[in-house]
Amino acid sequence: MKIHKEGYRIILVIFVLLVILLFGINQLFPEQTFIHYILYFTAIGFYFFVVRFFRVPNRQIIIDNNAIYAPADGTVVVIEEVEEPEYFKDRRRQISIFMSPLNVHINYYPISGSLVYKQYHPGRFLVAWHPKSSKLNERNTLVVEHTQNGKSILFRQIAGFMARRIVNKKSAPDIAIQGDEFGMIKFGSRVDIFIPLDAKVNVELDEKVTAKKTIIAYFE
């Protein structure tokens, strides 16, 4: 299993802390009991969870200039027409994907084009499915203008209750390639995608989607 480079330091730190914790417990209470075994299994399970969180899936993408791919793994929690106030300042179709701590948290470009806008917003850490999380939470907004049709979509990384850091190293202007990684959000989060109203939505509420595999909409 390949591990994302953002996880190296966290995985090492947690391993060292768990070793110190378990060593200290055994020093204070050397006689092995049922509680000791529970702690061992809990520590192993927690460590496995952290390692698995930073896994990098081996996926191929079928490039399709008419398709808008899911930028993240998770569950579709919002499909609605809204006013997008940050960049477009007009009506757009919003599709939101909630990522639980068990999902892959790497984010991928849904289309190819030019990265024309990027803005980081510090904020709170409400649960990611909260209606106000897209306005109040820590978030990072990107806009990509499509290479061929000139249409733009906005996607926003939103930190959740457990998340404390959005990773995104791309800077505008830049080139986005459909299926390439543009960042990740650590430990529970959400991604909002704002597409043109004439785009044909290809997913439903509560549907499970997979980044680089699920097409969430088509350009008209």
In the residue annotation, 189 being an active-site residue is answered as yes
Average per-residue pLDDT in the chain?
Answer: 86
Q: Which residue has the higher pLDDT, 140 or 7?
A: 140
Q: Which residue has the higher pLDDT, 33 or 218?
A: 218
Q: For 144, phi and psi rounded to 5 degrees? A: -120, 130
- Out of 96, 112, 134, 189, the active site residue is 189
Q: Over pLDDT 90: what percentage of the chain? A: 54
Average pLDDT of the segment spanning 118-138: 63
Write down the pLDDT at residue 193.
Answer: 96
Q: Which residue has the higher pLDDT, 173 or 207?
A: 207
When pLDDT is cut at 50, 70 and 90, the band that residue 220 belongs to is confident
Residue of 194, 186, 179 lying closest to 158 (CA atoms): 186
DSSP 8-state class, residue 135: H
